[in-house]
Structure 1
Amino acid sequence: MAIVALPYTSLVANGQSADLNNGAGTAFEGDGMRISDAVPERTILRVENASGGAVTVTVSAGDNPPALAAGLGDFTTTSLADNDIAYLGPFESGRFLQADGSMLVTPSAEGDGGGRITALLVPKAQ
């Protein structure tokens, strides 16, 4: 399979955001998931594991430039057990931003039965 889009779900500043029900988000894709026009410092990843086993999620180190700290390497979660929900981030542009302005996220399982990831965009407080 190919890398799939992982769109943002925007949270609401100074208000209440929509309910983040289980089953929302994008199905795990083992070849990778791309957040286009990423804002790493305002990105939170909600990971819901429903794979029937443990999974990890990797956020790939970026390209240098623009990610001058890309040499610190990828971030990989500890093992997430079946039915776990984890929140990851926020992240540093200087480590995780790709040359095309995206972020790459790769779970170790894939498919609808494997779980889902929601990319949350934290707004700037006005």
Structure 2
Amino acid sequence: MARTALTPTAFVPNGAVADPTGTASGVGANNGITVPYQGGKSIMLRIVAGGAGTATVLAGSQPSAISSGQGNATVTFGGAGTQWAGPFESARFGQPDGSLAVDTSVAMTITAFTLDGRYVG
């Protein structure tokens, strides 16, 4: 099974967005989700698990991900619940095509959000 591509929902400065449903992930290495390149925007994830498991945001590869040596970021669930993760920067997590890749150990529902990091209010 290939990764499922997620279209992120953009947070609106000084506004609001409807709560999107999320996308079910595949299970295991290379079967999770991918968030396409978002330019200069930060990516945040809402991860919902039905039970114990992990969601792993994969470190990118050099030269595009210069900080990839810091490794993956793992979100651990002791049981059912919701966790927010991020923001994730491309310098550590950007894949060769610029996307963000997430693998899960159990089926989870993941929603991606973007935040324009240049916005200062």
TM-score (norm 2): 0.85
Task: Find out whether 1:120 has 2:113 as its counterpart.
Answer: yes
How far does residue 67 in structure 1 lie from its aligned partner after superposition? 0.5
Contact 1:55–1:108 (CA under 8 A) maintained in structure 2:
yes
Q: 1:102 matched to which residue of 2? A: 99
Q: 1:44 matched to which residue of 2? A: 44
Q: 1:88 matched to which residue of 2? A: 85
Superposition CA RMSD, Å? 1.8
Q: 2:11 matched to which residue of 1? A: 11
Contact 2:90–2:98 (CA under 8 A) maintained in structure 1:
no
Contact 1:3–1:29 (CA under 8 A) maintained in structure 2:
yes
How far does residue 59 in structure 1 lie from its aligned partner after superposition? 0.2
Contact 1:38–1:97 (CA under 8 A) maintained in structure 2:
no
How far does residue 116 in structure 1 lie from its aligned partner after superposition? 0.6
Identity %: 39
Q: 2:66 matched to which residue of 1? A: 68
Gap change, CA 1:92 and 1:80, over 3 Å in 2: farther
User: SS of the residue aligned with 1:48?
Assistant: strand
Structure 1 counterpart of 2:70, which letter? L
Stretches of 4+ aligned residues off by more than 6 angstroms? none
How far does residue 80 in structure 1 lie from its aligned partner after superposition? 4.3
User: SS of the residue aligned with 2:77?
Assistant: coil
2: CA distance between counterparts of 1:40 and 1:104?
Answer: 17
How far does residue 92 in structure 1 lie from its aligned partner after superposition? 2.1
